Amino acid sequence: MTGPTRRTFGVMLCAGLLVRTASGQPAGGPLITRAIPSSGERLPAVGLGTAYVFDSDNEQTRRAATEVLATLVGTGGRLIDTASSYGNAEVVLGNAIANAGMRDKVFLATKLEAPDAAELRRSQTRLKTGKFDLLQFHNVSNPRQSLAQFKDWKAQGICRYIGITSTFHRDFHAIEAVLRRERPDFVQVDYSVDNREVDKRILPLAADVRAAVLTAQPFGSGRLFRTVRGQSLPDWAKDFAGSWGQFFLKYLLADQRVTAVIPGTSNPAHMADNLGAMRGRLPDPDERKRMAAFVESL
């Protein structure tokens, strides 16, 4: 018997039925939060990514967004990360947030493809807000890229924080150069237990320049779940993880340089499961090495 699947575990969380982890430890306790280095403001360490999730503005997607946001906020989460280039995600999220009266309950981050005022106004219209918590330059590829316009928008109060992003490893040299020179408040990169290039390149530099780190694709775009399909969660991991999703997320959160993980989902049960990674203890350094070795052995 392999234990509860990701879906059934999440359903139990949503229903309030799962009060203890597989090891018998309480599933409650304080939420794991992390400080944004430039301000000291604390963020819940698990948020919601929206790439390829809410692209289509239809009834099914709108309903899913409403349910996922209710689960996020109702379970202690705040961070929502989207982008102007994610199809209709900004429209779907903007309507869901406004209809639920949640704007003051969420930390809203979006991304622009360029420092362009028209694109900014489009995102403001679609997300139904004049102000963002985090405004990011998406997919930075030029090591000489200036963030002057983003800094101006921050000074004007249009956003509280600015950041840069890339999930293209060929552009990490540009991310490194812009981090060193421009010192944004946030950097967002892809990071997972089987994709650890940022360990040596981005995370140390982010710590040096006091940039918060958001980790996209923590499940490897679903790759990790395919890797462990049919595998039982190891007994040695059940003391800190109640599901494979929490196993993968807690690997990242055990690195104190990570401010928040942002797995994408349109399933409220999966959202609840992900948020469970903000409860209970984190793996220690030896356990973390064992987690990586276990995944590599599959």
Segment 242-261 mean pLDDT? 98
Domain residue ranges in the chain: 41-297
Would the pLDDT of 111 be above 80?
A: yes
Please tell me whether residue 256 adopts helix, strand or coil conformation: coil
* Cβ atoms 243, 273 nearer than 8 A: yes
Residue whose tokens read 């499961």: 273
* Per-residue pLDDT reduced to its tens digit, 87-97: 999 999 999 99
Question: Taking the CA atoms of the chain, what radius of gyration do you get in angstroms?
Answer: 18
Would the pLDDT of 116 be above 50?
A: yes
How sure is the predictor about 29, in pLDDT bands with cuts at 50, 70 and 90? Answer: confident
| Count of CB atoms situated within 10 Å of the CB of 124 | 17
pLDDT score at 228: 95
Mean pLDDT taken over the chain? 92
Listed residue (288, 206, 201, 213) closest to 250, CA to CA = 288
Q: Edge to edge, what strands does the sheet with 48-49 contain? A: 48-49, 79-81, 107-112, 132-137, 159-166, 186-190, 212-216, 260-261
Would the pLDDT of 17 be above 90?
A: no
Residue 284, both tokens = 């220690």
pLDDT score at 8: 43
User: What homologous superfamily is domain 41-297 in, according to CATH?
Assistant: NADP-dependent oxidoreductase domain (3.20.20.100)
pLDDT score at 22: 40
* Alpha-carbon gap, residue 243 to 7, rounded angstroms: 10
* Cβ atoms 85, 72 nearer than 8 A: no
The answer for residues whose C-beta is within 8 angstroms of residue 298's C-beta and 6 or more apart is: 227, 228, 231
| Count of CB atoms situated within 10 Å of the CB of 97 | 23
Please name the helix (run of DSSP H) or strand (run of DSSP E) that holds residue 109, with its range, or none. Answer: strand 107-112
Segment 137-141 mean pLDDT? 97
* Per-residue pLDDT reduced to its tens digit, 198-229: 999 999 999 999 999 999 999 998 999 999 99
How sure is the predictor about 155, in pLDDT bands with cuts at 50, 70 and 90? Answer: very high
How sure is the predictor about 19, in pLDDT bands with cuts at 50, 70 and 90? Answer: very low
* Alpha-carbon gap, residue 135 to 143, rounded angstroms: 19
pLDDT score at 28: 60
Q: Which comes out higher in pLDDT, residue 15 or 120?
A: 120
Q: Which comes out higher in pLDDT, residue 193 or 7?
A: 193
pLDDT score at 217: 95
**Degrees to nearest 5, angle at CA 240 with 167 and 243:** 65
